[in-house]
Amino acid sequence: MGDVAVIGTGQSVFSRKCGVSVRELCFEAFQEAMEGLDITKDNIDASIIGSAPEYDKQRTPSGLISEYLELTPKPTFYVESVCSSSSTGLRVAWSLIKAGLHKVVAVIGFQKMSELTSREAAERMGRGGDIIWDSPLGITMPAGYAMYARAHMAKYGTTEEQLAKVRVKSAHYGISNPKAYYRKELSVEDVLGSQVITSPLKLFDCCANADGSSCIIVASEDIATRVAKIPIWIAGVGAATDTMTMAGRKSLTNLSCAVEAAKQAYGMAGLGPEDIDVAEVHDCFTISEIMAYEDLGFAEFGEGARLIDEEQTYIGGKIPVNVDGGLLSKGHPIGATGGSQIRTIVRQLRGEASEAQVKDARIGLVHNIGGIGQYGNVTILRR
């Protein structure tokens, strides 16, 4: 059926209290995604909506959002894989277009988390794991990733200072991202001196809950080449699932779902880690980014922390990573995160990233994880 391209991307400002309804929040991202395209909403023949349903007061939000965006009676679908919902949505959209069922699909991710306290949000996120064996025992998101951090430290000698350097990089780039929730420079001392959440993870090792939305418009080759000035092609998609229970994991120093998803995406694209010019990885916690370096093949297992020590993941380094500030600075509105990551890479490949632009970026990668490593999506995009 030909190649499939991302022709438009949009994102709301990520904030703690957006002050609008979910449908209005999604319109903000949809409106930006449609800018500059030689199509109207009438040309969109399907939509995919992604969120983490435990936060949604509105049951079956896909119908509500489709109606508000005036996409009815075209079909709408609801997709959920926790924090990776909107990148799962992109995979589904790619599949629908490759199957010949649709020509243009809008993938919209959202979350409005400010209506819950941090304690309530942590409890709901904890239920993203096994509700018999994990969450009743206190394995919330911070606790789960703290286990990974401790295991990585014990096996490879990774230090709290190296974790802190990940957040310093995030803050350095987040300050220039107008869509980011947290825009302030931080030092290693600031991170190490912040409140302990779940040792060894401290406050600034953790991303913030946020309200936000994202939108990706995907089209078949014949339409993409006609309506978009610079279509960005989906070169490879990979997805995998690990055990829900932490006790069932083969390793606590890497995410097996990310390793497998990356293998699939590289294989489909006919590329390897050395071919990637810029990457967005799922840095819900600082340890997550270091593990991502290794899981994606940017570093050998156990060597990921050296990349941040040597600033190889800054612009100008071996592989620039999260130069929009990542989740740590942007915030993490669960269903919107994958779409936000894709938007960043699309802007990089189009040369639209202004002061955060990676020179001559032609191939980009998005690594989006759901839960405590339950779901992994890796997408490779090319100009």
Please give the CATH superfamily to which domain 4-116+210-233 belongs: Thiolase/Chalcone synthase (3.40.47.10)
Q: What is the structure's pLDDT at 134?
A: 84
State how far the Cα of 279 lies from the Cα of 54, in Å rounded to an integer: 29
Catalytic residues: 83, 332
State how far the Cα of 347 lies from the Cα of 352, in Å rounded to an integer: 5
Whole-prediction pTM value?
0.96
pLDDT digits (tens, 9 = 90+) for 99-140: 999 999 999 999 999 887 777 877 777 777 888 888 888 888
What single string gives the DSSP state of each residue in 248-259?
G-S-SSS-HHHH
Domain 119-208+234-382 is found in CATH 3.40.47.10:
yes
pLDDT digits (tens, 9 = 90+) for 29-84: 999 999 999 999 999 999 999 998 877 777 889 999 999 999 999 999 999 999 99
Average pLDDT score, the chain: 95
- Quote the percentage of the chain above a pLDDT of 70: 100
Q: How confident is the model at residue 1 (pLDDT cuts 50, 70, 90)?
A: low
Domain boundaries, the chain: 4-116+210-233, 119-208+234-382
Beta bridge partners of 10: 215
- Give me the helices (H) in 216-269, please: 221-227, 256-269
CA distances from residue 257 to 105, 243, 353, 378 in whole angstroms, order as listed:
26, 9, 30, 10
- Quote the percentage of the chain above a pLDDT of 90: 87
Same fold, 4-116+210-233 and 119-208+234-382: yes
Instruction: Give buried/exposed letters for 150-170 (b at 16+ CB in 10 A, else e).
Output: bbbbeebebebebbbbbbbbb
